[in-house]
Structure 1
Amino acid sequence: MTQSSSRFGAALLAALAVAATVVAVRSAPSIVGTGAAGGGGGGGNWVAGWAPSPVAGSEIPWMPDCPAGKGLTDQTVRNVAFLAAGGSAVRVRVTNTFGATALRVGRASVAVQGADAAVVPGTVRELTFGGKTSVTVAAGGRALSDPVQLSVAALSTLLVSVYVPEATGPVTNHPFTAQGNFLAAGDRALSPTGEGYSSIPCWMLVDGIDVRASSRFTGTVVALGDSITDTSATSGNANKRYPDDLARRLNARRGSTLSVVNAGLGGNRLLAPRDGEPYWGVPALARLERDVFAQTGVKSVILFEGVNDIGYSAGADEMIAGYQQVIAQTKAQGLRIYGATITPFGGSFIETPERLATWRAVNHWIRTSGEFDGVFDFAKALGAPGNPEALATQYDSGDHLHPNDAGCQAMADTVNLDVLLRR
């Protein structure tokens, strides 16, 4: 699903009725550098500060302002990224994960955001890749920049600009952001102003920012989920997603803490791909390695996904088998995994007696199976008094399925930080 806007209303139904055939790709980036410049050292305590899950570029009928489907030519993308962790240096991951051909990046930069597409004066840092200012990323690959010295605060916002001189074809992107981003003609990657930039609704060409953080940050927790984790029904340009609220709680805590990565995808399912509409992403079971295990400093995972599977009338047994696979693969990586109960959807367009029965059975298993390292009961926290199958009025965005800003805050508040941070 998408941001809470009337033009996305029809898409809500589509999100639970269809999904993407794209095969998950995870490969080491193939990089060829051109140009000159130097890079910094890579030592230090690195964590993932921001890492949106990518999808294949495609046309989205109700969102024509995102050009990921038709691609870019001689243009600069300026992505707006909210950091969960602060530190003394950053490095950026350029993505061509779902690209059909090699991607040439002519120039890239990172800066602290000022107003809109303008930067805070003096903060623009040109990115290099193996000391080169240009990089070519193979189809299916990614490229990690050299570190650059840049003092960034936790819960601050960066601008990551990527200039592509040649026709790209469809580009890897994250379509539903609840965040305005920017696009300009020509090479404006190093521009300190917002001149020439116009607004776009999607993130493109970048799927990660790592931060060299203080020792207080002991790693990263990845929030794996669907639209309720991703953005849907939260206020635009306000960073009110539940992982953002969790990052605020973790940053306010004294002593050791974690960075937070949002691996939510609108319309995503745990079990199955979605035919013909790749903007919903590949299923969770097909993106664990790339979106979870490959994140810098990952220590733990919060699994909160399944309402779209229920909307497709998946059975409790097959969903539980899917959860068990996520648990097994996550623990095999030496990571902790926490389960979150599926939030209520009574009164929404997906409600049927059979689906509510599945919801009850799945949530009972999450709460009682003992297979997770801990459980955060989002369903209980958001359920209506006397009617736990429906969202409480104060947490309902209006569609009886997606929590609003207050609901996302309540979810974040339900996460037991002592459990999440225990060694």
Structure 2
Amino acid sequence: MSRRPWFAHGRRTAGVVGALVVALCAPATLSSAATTPLARTPSHQVVTWGASADRMGTAVADHSYRLVVRTSVGGGSPRIRLSNAFGDHPVTFDSVYAGQQKDGAQLLPGSNRRITFGGGQSVTVAPGATVYSDPLTGSLAAQSDLVVSLHVVAAEGPATGHGMAMQTSYAAGGDHAGEEGAGSWNERIGSWFYLDAVSVETGADTGAVVTLGDSITDGWQSSTDTNRRWPDYLSRRLQGASGIGIKGVANEGISGNKVLADGAGQSALNRLQRDVLSQPGIRTVFLFEGINDIKAHSGVTVDDMIAGYRQIIDRAHAAGVCVVGGTVLPFKGWSEFDPASEAVRQGVNSFIRNGGALDAVTDFDKLLRSPYDQERLLPVFDGGDHLHPNDKGMQAMADSVDLTSLRCTR
């Protein structure tokens, strides 16, 4: 069976999707809490999009979601990963499709293709589990708008998803996943449900960077529906760079997230394996997190933060993954700022810059701080709340990353 292009010409050009690869097994029901591939393992799969899983309120049965996501690296044999990481009951999907966005919930005619799981149209994901789909034949272009539509036929208890997408997706009652038109999709939503990763098959020399962070990485204060989070800008730089083996980018930021303590999502320590190290093709984790621990007035010390960072670094290194660190941004003017928290931030940044534990460092603090008051963001980069950068700040952050630092020798 020859491979034919699917999204090979980007977002606005209709492509042709090849037939599905059909596995020689019956529809599967997952019982393991581990990430479980149901189809063949590709020779070299790399994550092209990711979003951290979190608890999303009560699951809704007989409901469809049309989820718009932006790819990073292009490649063949696309696969999706569905997550029930926070569910306490099984969730069953009986209709899952992938297509190409034309406008809003409207898909390009002929682009919507059914996704199978173990050769079958239906899959049940156990509580705590994730599942990979079978691969689609054809290729998925870099920097394209992939639309995954799925119907949840049976679900109860907590839903799993990603709350702050900074991207408009759509929902509807009943099963509309196979429809290419927008008529049934009467709910606009700002979250992703159940989908937590997309990967593609690439050459063996291509890898991915996974950004582990909080609301700044998640994209708060960047412009919605424009892909202006700093990892998006980084992805565009990587696609255009020659001689850089890192092409995939997965954004694993969660608004309000902490390094040490659960709260807004599981802590970075507790979600490291699922959200970061499990991603196919990962070569590097970009660790940029800590402000929520520091500003919480919880008594967290510099030593506490260093111990948390060292655990992340050691676990990544044990998995053969490089770790690049970003210094914590200033936040004077934010309501929780005080001299004690600032002192912890300065101590943390000293470790990041000079501790020698990281494979490389990007000094976001030095880049974005005001030269007149180094405890504040420079106004031109301030999104307005004195904590989150705006679009210009996001781009400046991505532009400051030394691309060659994203691949070390391990």
TM-score bucket (shorter structure) = 0.7 to 0.9
Give the corresponding residue for 1:287. Answer: 271
Give the corresponding residue for 2:363. Answer: 377
Give the corresponding residue for 1:219. Answer: 207
Question: Structure 1 residues 30 and 147 mapped into 2: Cα distance closer, same or farther (>3 Å)?
Answer: closer
Mapped pair 1:268 → 2:296: no
Aligned 1:1-150 pairs, distance under 5 A: 27-28=33-34, 42-57=41-56, 69-150=57-138
In 1, Cα distance between equivalents of 2:61 and 2:45: 33
In 1, Cα distance between equivalents of 2:389 and 2:405: 24
* Alignment check: 8 A CA contact 2:302 2:347 kept: yes
Post-superposition Cα deviations, 1:166-207, rounded to whole Å, max 9, x if no partner, equal 343321010011111110121111111111112111100111
In 2, Cα distance between equivalents of 1:422 and 1:272: 29
Letter in 2 for 1:342: V
For residue 386 of structure 1, the aligned residue among 372, 380, 395 is 372
Mapped pair 1:204 → 2:193: yes
Aligned 1:363-374 pairs, distance under 5 A: 363-374=349-360
In 2, Cα distance between equivalents of 1:304 and 1:360: 15
Post-superposition Cα deviations, 1:341-385, rounded to whole Å, max 9, x if no partner, equal 001101211210111111111101110111100100000110112
TM-score (norm 1): 0.85
Post-superposition Cα deviations, 1:48-104, rounded to whole Å, max 9, x if no partner, equal 0111000012xxxxxxxxxxx232121111111111111222101111111110111
For residue 194 of structure 1, the aligned residue among 171, 177, 182 is 182
Query: Where does structure 1 lack aligned partners over 5 or more consecutive residues?
Result: 1-25, 34-38, 58-68, 275-279
Provide the secondary structure at the position in 2 that maps to 1:361. helix
TM-score (norm 2): 0.88
Q: Percent identity?
A: 40
* Alignment check: 8 A CA contact 1:30 1:137 kept: no
Provide the secondary structure at the position in 1 that maps to 2:66. strand
Q: CA deviation at 1:320?
A: 0.8
In 2, Cα distance between equivalents of 1:383 and 1:306: 17
Mapped pair 1:300 → 2:284: yes
In 1, Cα distance between equivalents of 2:238 and 2:129: 32
Post-superposition Cα deviations, 1:279-326, rounded to whole Å, max 9, x if no partner, equal x20100101110111001111111000000011232111111111111
For residue 418 of structure 1, the aligned residue among 385, 399, 404 is 404
The alignment's C-alpha RMSD in Å is 1.7
Aligned 1:335-346 pairs, distance under 5 A: 335-346=321-332
Larger RCO (CA under 8 A, 6+ residues apart) = 1
Give the corresponding residue for 1:168. Answer: 156
Letter in 2 for 1:221: V
Q: CA deviation at 1:43?
A: 2.8
In 1, Cα distance between equivalents of 2:157 and 2:375: 45
Provide the secondary structure at the position in 2 that maps to 1:362. helix
Query: Where does structure 2 lack aligned partners over 5 or more consecutive residues?
Result: 1-31
In 2, Cα distance between equivalents of 1:323 and 1:422: 18
